[in-house]
Chain A
Amino acid sequence: MIRYLGGRLAQSAIVVVGVSVIVFASLHLAGDPVALMLPPDASYQDMQRYRHLLGFDEPMPEQYLQYAIKALHGNFGTSIRYNLPAVPLMLEHLPATASLAAAALTWSTVAGVVIGIYAALHRGGAVDYAARILALAGQAIPVFWLGPMLILYFSVQRGWFPTGGFGLGAHLVLPAVTLGAYYLAIVIRLMRTSVLASLQQDHVRTARAKGLAPRRIIIRHVLRNSWLPVISMLGLQAGSVMGGAVVTEVVFAWPGLGRLAAQAISGRDFPLVQAIVLFSAIVFVLVNLTADVVYMVADPRIRYS
């Protein structure tokens, strides 16, 4: 187990290094940020001096090496746009995105699991139809439409929630609902399908035949087998939710990492983009590693070696 984890961590490190190389290369191929950084009247000499100051006149492998050495020492560079260290800048936008992602994933997972199970157990019933429509709609409705519609009804007409801005109370409700709708749809579908599949299994039929209480059958025998797809889905989505939050953050004026990243990219703020992408890659890798470990807890038959 320890050996397995060690191996996985080593693999993860390779992934992160790979990501850093790709991001570095693609950013530097996209163009030189110096023109955007300097004031309009900057002279050609100024631009050259700045290029030199920032090391943009070195060969790219040399630049990457410099960057990697500094990064290993915990220095991810200074944001060109804000002239502040990139990592603190990123970290100050993290709580907003983390709270939004956590709220969206939590409610959508809980609701999705409950609805999915109920729909599977009452297959063909009214709830099942409603759940299937919900699952279809949740995946098909884009965030940039759902968000404004929720704002129009709940904020403008009813006045229940603010139209946007950051806060952990009423401010969080509509963005979390909007962002979570997509994941709700996925969880409902997965849960419904896998519960349906489990219900066909021999051991479930045996459990029924020996007269176990239906509640006990569902919790002990059906659910344990139906969890796994949802867990692996969450592992994949928890990483992508950071990126998927960009549109939600724009619609609800939410001061998160997604908007910071979008601004950094359009402003050619290389150090900031690199820090954010690298950070997201690390989160993604760690969440997936955690998902694999949770697998073992959820299903004792799974053993890695």
Chain B
Amino acid sequence: MLGDRLTRRRFLRQSSFALAGASFSMLPWTAGESAPVRGGTLTIARPVDSISLDPYRDSSAPGAWVYGLIYDSLVTLSPAMKVQPGLASSWRVLSPSKVRFFLRRDVRFHDGTPCNAAAIKFTFDRTFNAKSPGIWASFAGPIKGATVVDDYTVDVESTEPFAPLLLSMAVVHGGMVSPDAVRKQGDAFGRHPVGTGPFKFVEWVPNDHITLERNDAYWGPKAYLDRIVFRIIPEEEARVIALRTGEVDMVLLPPLTALPALQRDPNYIVYSTTGTRTVFIACTLTQPPMDDVRVRRALMLATDRKSIVDNIVGPAGVLANDMMAPNIFGYAPVHLDKLYPHDVKRAAALLEQAGFKPGQGGVLERGGVPLTLTMMSSRGRYPKDAEISQAFQAQMHDIGIRVDLQIPEYAVVFSALRAPTLTVHLMLSAWGNITGDADHTLVTTGRSDQAPPRGWNAFRYFNPAYDKVVDQARTSVNPAERKTLYAQAQQMLARDLPYFPIYNMNNIAVAHSYVKGFVPHPVEYVLPVGPVWLQK
């Protein structure tokens, strides 16, 4: 995470590609780079508290933002989405289901205990056990665990060939915990975290703030900051006010309406990078008439996605023209804007082919049954989610489809998503890729065996040809071959349209211009404030 100046420059060059699509990116190093200054406290405002600072337990981004600074993983994923050494200085792929990691020998946990192969194995044993698996296990696929080869070498194995194994080690949720501290603290470990990271835990006043301080004994480039304070300010306007009064230096999840003014003001920098999360309208393929691909295509053609993104989403994201975000390994362009341009006439023709005729009150009908679709949407879970659903409802009305929209609280939406059966036709939902590998999107949300409650294939997209392709890509060790297979899978999705991608979400932060060295990360769980310094 922390790079010396040379590596920082290098990875900034690499990351400029990933940042190219961002609508708000102001690159901090263009404003005349100055030598980093040691010292000071960085105060960050965020809307909600962490649940726990134990990666075993907290899957939320607000948790990961903090514990990502306390723990190190075996390897890390740079903002340019490249794997870099972490606790492991190098690694060797022994087979498609086995990678050997060579550990650094100079690493100690904040409590002074050594971070050796046995300690690494402890985190694996704790996380990858069938009885009570940790959060990490839920998206690290078929990983079985780690075995100690010698004091500073571990083998990580999976039960089946698993190409994304290395990327699965690079997630913040894979931070290595101090075995000693876990044994001493038990359940309270989440309140007294001990890792190897560039920052050490100081205190946590629940729902108020969490304080971290510099780890002077850090094995890598040491932090410039003395302290980082994460404050909780639930009101989005209040977060910006606290930024303006100087009470905080950086604001996460700022209100979108405040961004234009902040961007014009030279005292602030708005950081934005397109993330790995795609917000989409999902079809339930088991609910007629959504089982008919003509109906799905007609709905897609009738949706003015560009207008929705331009007028509603704004700086929160960029129009999604493909089935997943471009910064994910295995991404292939499918050009949804060319396949399904906004074309109401074509949509009407497709619906007619599918047997729908104009009926009473302008609503289409087939066999006397009006074309009424039920839709569920969250509000405030993703930027502009409810507003998008309402715009979609209005656009469907224009071609004679009645959409009954319900917007319950998120717990209800979530329960519906996880239930064995889903009765609504449409749902506004999203998928955020954590590992940076297409596997975490295409398998988890599309393979036939991943229908809820097991996985996230809430579309109930059952396509044996697709399953075969994504499985092949999972077991191949040849990156070029994997890319070809994933391209095929994305083309199948574009053809079958189990979901209508709307936008790829931007990860946005605002900071005072004296905050230097921050590069936003495409994975929303990662907040790389470790290398930051204050130029006051």
Contacts and interface: CB of A to CB of B under 8 A. Distances in A.
B237 A82 contact: no
A32 interface: yes
Contact of B234 (A81, A148, A259): A259
B139 interface: yes
A151 B238 contact: yes
Main secondary structure of the interface of A (DSSP, over half): loop
A31 B412 contact: yes
Contacts of B51: 81-82
Contacts of B209: 165
Nearest to B45: A253
A152 B238 contact: no
A159 interface: yes
B111 interface: no
B274 interface: no
Interface in B121-176: 133, 135, 137-139
A268 B208 contact: no
B458 to A, nearest CB: 11
Contacts of A267: 411
B456 interface: yes
Contacts of B205: 166, 255
A163 B232 contact: no
B190 interface: yes
A169 interface: no
A261 to B, nearest CB: 11
Interface string B230-246: 01111101100110110
A35 B418 contact: yes
A159 B415 CA distance: 45
Contacts of A165: 208-209, 231, 233, 247
A164 B411 contact: no
Contacts of A31: 411-412, 415
Contacts of A43: 453-454
B187 A83 contact: yes
A153 to B, nearest CB: 12
A92 B49 CA distance: 15
A82 B187 CA distance: 10
A253 B187 contact: no
Interface string B416-460: 001110000000000000000000000010000000011110000
B57 interface: yes
B278 interface: no
Interface string A31-45: 110011001111110
A39 B414 CA distance: 12
- Which of A32, A42, A267 has the largest number of chain B CB atoms within 10 A? A42
A26 interface: no
Nearest to A167: B208
B514 interface: no
Interface string A256-278: 10011001001110000000000
B90 to A, nearest CB: 30
Assign chain A's interface to a size class. 35 or more
B206 A93 contact: yes
A163 B206 contact: no
B410 interface: yes
B206 A164 contact: no
B238 A156 contact: no
A255 B208 CA distance: 5
Contacts of B245: 155-156, 159, 162-163
A163 B453 contact: no
Nearest to A166: B208
A47 interface: yes
Place the interface of chain B in its size category.
35 or more
B239 to A, nearest CB: 9
Nearest to A157: B245
A250 interface: yes
A141 B116 CA distance: 61
Contact of A266 (B235, B409, B418): B409
A252 B137 CA distance: 38
B232 A40 contact: no
A36 B206 contact: no
A200 B241 CA distance: 51
A302 interface: no
A35 B414 contact: yes
A44 B420 CA distance: 9
A160 to B, nearest CB: 11
B419 A35 contact: yes
Contacts of A84: 187-188, 190-191
B507 interface: no
B413 to A, nearest CB: 11
Interface in B192-219: 205-209
Interface in A160-195: 162-166
B52 interface: yes
Interface in A42-81: 42-44, 47, 81
Nearest to B188: A84
Nearest to A162: B247
Contacts of B138: 39-42
B41 to A, nearest CB: 14
B59 interface: yes
A84 B453 CA distance: 27
Given A165-B209, A268-B411, A253 B453 contact: no
Interface string A80-110: 0111100001001100100000000000000
A231 interface: no
A260 B244 CA distance: 27
A222 interface: no
Nearest to A53: B132
Contacts of A36: 411, 414-415
Interface string B52-63: 100001010000
A92 B138 CA distance: 31
B208 A156 contact: no
Interface string B22-62: 00000000000000000000000000100110000101000
Contact of B241 (A155, A250, A263, A266): A155
A163 B242 contact: yes
Contacts of B242: 163-164
A163 B247 contact: yes
Contacts of B133: 39
Contacts of B233: 164-165, 253
Nearest to A257: B207
A39 B411 contact: no
A245 interface: no
Contact of A39 (B137, B206, B247): B137
A131 interface: no
B517 to A, nearest CB: 26
A266 B409 CA distance: 8
A253 B244 contact: no
27 contacts: A35-B415, A35-B418, A36-B415, A39-B133, A39-B137, A39-B139, A40-B139, A40-B455, A41-B137, A41-B455, A42-B453, A47-B453, A83-B52, A84-B190, A148-B235, A151-B238, A156-B245, A163-B242, A163-B245, A166-B205, A250-B234, A251-B235, A252-B238, A253-B233, A255-B206, A256-B207, A266-B410
Given A41-B456, A156-B244, 10 more contacts: A36-B414, A39-B133, A82-B51, A83-B52, A83-B57, A84-B187, A148-B235, A155-B245, A253-B233, A253-B235
Interface of A: 31-32, 35-36, 39-44, 47, 81-84, 89, 92-93, 96, 148, 151-152, 155-156, 159, 162-166, 250-253, 255-256, 259-260, 263, 266-268
* 8 A-B pairs closest in CB distance: A39-B138, A255-B207, A255-B208, A41-B138, A35-B418, A253-B233, A44-B453, A166-B208
